[in-house]
Every structure is written in C-alpha cells, then in structure tokens.
Amino acid sequence: MDPMAALINRLRKAGFEVDQRLNAAMMEVDIRQFTDIEPTPFFHDRPIVFLETLKGGVKTISAPHMVSQLLLHLELATGNTVLIIGCKGGYMGALVSELVGPEGEVFILDPSEEVVIHATDRLFDRENISVIKIENLSIVPPKIPASLSRVLITGSLREIPNWIENRLEEGGFILAPLGGRTHQKLVKRERQGDDLLDTDLGSVVFGPVDICESEPRIPSPQDLADLFDEGIVILRDHFGINESLINRMYDLITALRQLPDDLQPPIIHFDLHDIVVQKDIADGDGDLDELEEENGIHPLLELLEREADWLAGIWPLLLMITDIHMMHPGAPDHKGTDGVWEPFGGADDSFFDTGNEKVNIEGDDEDDDFSSEEFQHQDFTP
C-alpha cells in the first residue's frame, strides 16, 4: 500500500477525521518534494526536518496528524484567499493550494531568506502560490490582498498583528497558536461584522515562526522571565505550589525584566576540572560595568544565585514543562522498549508532564476535533 494511504488509514483508526477532499490533497502532494530527508519518519506520523542553519536552527514540517487537523479546522473552500505565516517547507502551502483550487490564492510569508528560497524552489509549479520574505510581521508586506478568507499562523505568537485582523473578510477567520515559547492556545479568531470572536481550540506547543529563534543559545533574562511567567500558571494549577513561592517567582520575573535589554549572555568556559563563568562586559551604561566589577559575576547569574535556595526546588518542574514529548497517533504498530508490541508509537505517545490529569494538546474539549491527542501527566508532588 502507498505509505501515505496507509498513514491516512491509521489516522482514521486513531479517531482523526480525514475527509475526502483532504484525503485527495494529501495523496496528491508528495512530501518528498519538500524535504531532502528520508521520509519514513513522516509516514510514521512524525515531524520532518526540511532545513537546518549553520548555527543549528532547525525548521520542520509538522507531523501529519497535526497538518490534517489544522487543515480541517480551516474549513477551506474552492476560491478562498489564504494567508499562511511560516512556510513549513512549502508543504502546507501546497496542500492549501490543492484545497482552494486554481480559482483560489495562497500567500506565504516567512522572515527567513533561507526558508523562502527553499519554499520557492519547491513550489515552482504552483501558479496560485506566492512566497514572500518579510522583515517585520507588524508591517503589512506588499502584494497581500485587502480581503482574506483564511489565515493560518504556523508558529507561536503572543499577539496577532492588527493588519491581519483588519483584512479578514466577513466570516473569515484566523487560526493561530497564541502564547509564549513553551505553551500556547490554538485560537480561532473569526470576523463577524465589526467584532472578532475567539474560540479556544485547546493547548498546543508550536515552535517559533523565525528559524533564527530555534538556534541554540543561552536564555536571555527576558526568555527566563517568560518561562517563569508561563510556568506559574501550570505550577499553580497542576502542582499546588504555595502562594509564597508563586510570589517569589513574580518578584524574580520583575527583577529579570529590569535587567538591561542589551545585556550580553555570560560566556561559559569548560576545562578538565571545573566550570568557570567569566563575566561578559555589556555595552550598557557605567552602572552595569560597576556592578559586574564589584561582584565579579554576570548580573543574570548573580540574580539567579541569590534566589537559588528556593529556585532549586522548582527548577526540575520548570524543565518538565519545557520537555515536550509528542504523540504519533498515525504511527504503525511497533515494539516498545520492553519488547511488547504497542500501537501508535508506544512509549513516545505522551506530551509534557504537568500534573495528574490529562489535557488535550490540541483541544481540552472532548467534543472538538482534537480530542484524540492528549498530554499524559505524571503524578508528582513537589
């Protein structure tokens, strides 16, 4: 059997809807056109890399179960005008192109020149697709129509730019993962007259739109503040962290956000016996230089060291929040680590652990289309 046909059958058996139009599009668009990586993992319902930067930034095409559910939620019709933020290698755009037909239009925006070149090369035969590099998502790029039927944002954002909302036609809507780096809500934002109405489709975890943001780096004070900010909600709701610790986290967030925006990260040197952290001189004002000279330690490290007594106790929980394990409901049956045959991915079928209840990664309402895919939480008492 064709590997895509087999994958679609497994997704349906796992409870995922793949209607006839989407089935035809997924059978027509060959994943091999959009990545040079051997495609077997994709046919086992896993994301697949399509581009990696010299600095280690990685961009992937989403796992098929995610692709199929996003496209179903878009409710695409022939002739729609669709805007996609984030290329996903061009694969998502090709599927949308199939679903809207030659009468429709697809516009893909991405901030990475490498990604835009990759997608443009792979979509050369699609006359109804335009791939455009953007410098700043908050500024309206050229060639974008004044009226959009659908908008799909394929990477995490904190807010949807106003110009996108203003171009939605009546009854049109946006699908976007809104939130921080480690946790978002998939939101459907629909135009109804002068109003924009939101529908929460559940908790999701998407990577950033810009490939540069996926490059490994030492977290900045703002990154850590965002992590603590997102972590507070999960720690309070799922772990019963007491209010005194929550208040200390809020104080730490405030202190982190007060560090200079241009503060350079500490430089960490490794030798045979120990790790020596050398201060890094930022281009800030004299106060920062004096602080570093006086303490002999980078301001960020000094702040974290000062809070170490209580921070050490919850740090493992914060790491658990960022350690996401994806389910693969369309994977073929295979042997688990104990030699027992397990369906749909076996031991890998879990998301991040945040407590003792199950929460759907794409939807926490049993009635929505995402109810087959869940977080599996561990019991943990801090």
Whether residue 229 sits in one domain with residue 184: no
Are the C-beta atoms of 179 and 336 separated by less than 8 Å? no
How far apart CA 219 and CA 224 sit, in angstroms, is 6
Q: What is the pLDDT of residues 278-293, one digit of tens each?
A: 444 444 444 444 444 4
Q: Which of 185 and 349 is assigned the larger pLDDT?
A: 185
| End position of a domain, from candidates 165, 186, 205 | 205
**Mean pLDDT rounded to a whole number for the chain:** 77
Q: Is residue 166 part of a domain?
A: yes
How far apart CA 8 and CA 45 sit, in angstroms, is 10
Q: Residue 110: pLDDT above 80?
A: yes
Identify the bridge partners of residue 59 per DSSP, sorted by sequence position. 51
Q: Residue 176: pLDDT above 70?
A: yes
Whether residue 183 sits in one domain with residue 220: no
Whether residue 222 sits in one domain with residue 201: no
pTM of the complete model: 0.68
Mean pLDDT over 335-348 rounds to 36
Whether residue 43 sits in one domain with residue 17: yes
Whether residue 113 sits in one domain with residue 72: yes
Pairing status of strand 184-192 against strand 168-179: antiparallel
The domain of 195 spans 3-205
Q: Map residue 225 onto helix, strand or coil.
A: helix
| End position of a domain, from candidates 205, 236, 261 | 205
Which CATH number characterizes residue 36's domain?
3.40.50.150
Closest CA to 301 of 316, 319, 284, 280: 280
Overall number of domains in the chain: 2
| Angstrom distances, CA of residue 2 to CA of 5, 7, 362 | 5, 9, 28
| Angstrom distances, CA of residue 128 to CA of 16, 21, 104, 110 | 29, 18, 7, 17
Least confident segment among 84-88, 138-142, 266-270, 368-372: 368-372
Over 232-263, what HEC string results? HHHHHHHHCCCHHHHHHHHHHHHHHHHCCCCC
Are the C-beta atoms of 134 and 83 separated by less than 8 Å? no
